[in-house]
Amino acid sequence: MKSAGVGVGLIAGIVFVIWMGTGFFIVQEGQQAVITQFGKYKSTVGAGFNWRLPYPIERHELVFVTQIRSADVGRDTVIKSTGLRESAMLTEDENIVEIKFAVQYRLSDARAWLFESKNPSDAVVQAAETAVREVVGKMRMDTALAEERDQIAPRVRALMQTILDRYKVGVEVVGINLQQGGVRPPEQVQASFDDVLKAGQERERAKNEAQAYANDVVPRAVGSASRLNEEAAAYKARIVAQAQGDAQRFSSVLAEYQKAPQVTRDRMYLDTMQQIYGSVTKVLVESRQGSNLLYLPLDKIMQSVASGTGALDAPAAGAAPTVVPAAPAANFSNDPRARDSNRTRERESR
C-alpha cells in the first residue's frame, strides 16, 4: 500500500509539473498577450518568454498590435428601400454623392480591442460611416466633388479617431485613402455633372488666361502712361520756356524799337532775310528795268569756298532754281535828290 501511495503521489507530481509547464508561452515581436483569470482581464504582456497559471485558471490570447488592418467603406450594395447604394451620402444642399474609401488602422490597446467592444471590426466600419456622413453632410455638393475634395479624408480621420476614443475601442486610425473615383455623383446624373465640371474647368482656364493677359497689359499700359506724362511734362516745360523767351525777346526788341525805330526795322529786315536765304543754294535776281536775268550759283560758290579752289562750276543740268523776286533796283544818279528818293522807295518797298 505504501508503494502504491508513493507511485500515485509520484504520478500526481509529474502530472502537476506538466500541468504547470503548460503555463509557459512565447509572444512574438509585434504581438501582445492578454491574460485572463477565470475569464476576467488580468494583465497584458509584451514580446518574449512568459508564464501564466495553467488552464483553466488563466488563459492568454495573442493580438497583433503592429499589423496595419484595412476596412472598406462605401459598398456598391443597393438598398431596396431607397434604391441607392450604401456609398450614397447626403450633402448640405440636399444632393447625393457616392464616396468610397479604405480605412487603415492598427491596435493601440489590446485589452480594449478584446473587451470593450463585442465586434471591434464592425465598430471601426460604423465609426467610419458615421464620420464620413457627418463631414459630407456639412459640405455642398460642388465643394465635396471639386474644391474641398482633398479635405474629406483628414476630416474623416480626425472625427473617426474621436469616436473610437470615446467608445474605447483601442484603435489608432493610420489613414483614410479615397479610392479612384471615390467621390462622384450618382450614375443617373454623371453625364450632366461631367458637363458642369468641364464648364468649371473652362471657366478657371479663361480666368487664368485673363489674369495672365492683365499681368502683361497693365504694366505696359502703366509704363506707357508714365512715359506720356513725362513727355507731356517735358513738352510743357519746353513750350513755356520758349514762350517766355519769345516774350522777353519781344520786350527787348520793343525797348530798342522805341529808342530807334528805323534802325530796328532795318535790322529786323536783314535778320529775316538772312534766315530765309541762309539755306537757299540757288538764287535768281530779276531786274525790273531790264530783261537780263542774273543767276547766282550759291551752292557752287559755297562748295568752292569749302574746297578752297575758288572756281565757279556751271549749275547742274536739269536743276530747278529758286526764283525769288528781288528788291527794286536802285537808280543811281548824280542828283542827290534822286538818290534820296530812291532810298526812300527802297525803304518803302522793304
Three-state DSSP state, 121: helix
At 162, the pLDDT band (50, 70, 90 cuts) reads very high
Grid cell 509520484 is found at 10
**Long-range CB pairs of 64-69, under 8 A, 24+ apart, other chains included:** 64/30, 64/31, 64/107, 65/30, 65/31, 65/32, 65/106, 65/107, 65/108, 65/110, 66/30, 66/106, 67/30, 67/106, 67/107, 68/104, 68/105, 68/106, 68/174, 69/104, 69/105, 69/106, 69/107
Position 298 scores a pLDDT of 62
In this predicted model, what pLDDT tens digit does every residue of 3-38 receive, in sequence order?
776 777 788 888 888 887 777 888 887 788 888 888
Distance, CA of 88 to CA of 224 (rounded, Å): 58
Cβ pair 285, 325 in contact under 8 A: no
In this predicted model, what pLDDT tens digit does every residue of 241-282 receive, in sequence order?
999 998 998 888 888 888 888 888 888 888 888 888 777 666
Average pLDDT, the chain: 77
Query: Phi-psi region for residue 271, left (φ > 0), alpha (ψ -120 to 50) or beta?
Result: alpha
**Is domain 69-185 in CATH 3.40.50.720, yes or no?**
no
Query: Phi-psi region for residue 48, left (φ > 0), alpha (ψ -120 to 50) or beta?
Result: left
In this predicted model, what pLDDT tens digit does every residue of 283-337 receive, in sequence order?
666 666 655 555 556 666 667 667 664 444 444 444 444 444 444 443 434 444 4
| Single-letter amino acid, residue 2 | K
Cβ pair 135, 163 in contact under 8 A: no
Alpha helices in 190-335 (DSSP H): 190-259, 261-277, 298-307
Distance, CA of 155 to CA of 336 (rounded, Å): 121
Min mean pLDDT across 19-23, 195-199, 336-340 is at: 336-340
Cβ pair 35, 59 in contact under 8 A: yes
Distance, CA of 143 to CA of 149 (rounded, Å): 7
Position 221 scores a pLDDT of 92
Position 227 scores a pLDDT of 93
Residues 6+ apart with CB under 8 A from 299: 281, 282
Burial 305-327, CB ≥16 within 10 A → b, else e: eeeeeeeeeeeeeeeeeeeeeee
Distance, CA of 130 to CA of 160 (rounded, Å): 8
Position 282 scores a pLDDT of 63
